[in-house]
Amino acid sequence: MRTKGVTVYTIFLVVLILSSLFFLILVLIKFMKSPETKGMCEVKVKSFCLEWYSNGYLPEKKPKGYDFSSCEKYGISEPTKDECERLIG
């Protein structure tokens, strides 16, 4: 009889520890996301321009998936064709 109580208590402790670790990992992942820096934004612009250049600067093949909203605080926004041509050369 006594072993049944110990088993239930042990299972409860294991579940409690595992759930605590799970939430700790979630919190760490949330806070480990690095903020956007000016250098990262400049690299993002160059990458955008190189990808667009490889597509011949066609408007319908403008690269998708680049978010420049966090770069606006540095005065960096989505580059135009002229800006990309100046940057790439």
pLDDT value at residue 51:
94
Distance CA 16, CA 13 (A): 5
pLDDT value at residue 14:
93
Region 37-45: mean pLDDT is: 91
Q: Average pLDDT over the chain, rounded to whole?
A: 88
Region 62-76: mean pLDDT is: 90
Amino acid at 33: K
Written as six digits, the tokens of 85 are: 């041509």
pTM, two decimals, is: 0.61
User: Does residue 2 surpass a pLDDT of 70?
Assistant: no
Q: Largest alpha-carbon pair distance within the chain?
A: 81
Contact 89, 51 (CB under 8 A): no
pLDDT value at residue 89:
73
For 15-26, write each residue's pLDDT tens digit: 999 999 999 998
Give the other-Cβ count within 10 Å of 87's Cβ: 15
> Helix (H, G, I), strand (E, B), or coil: what is residue 53?
helix
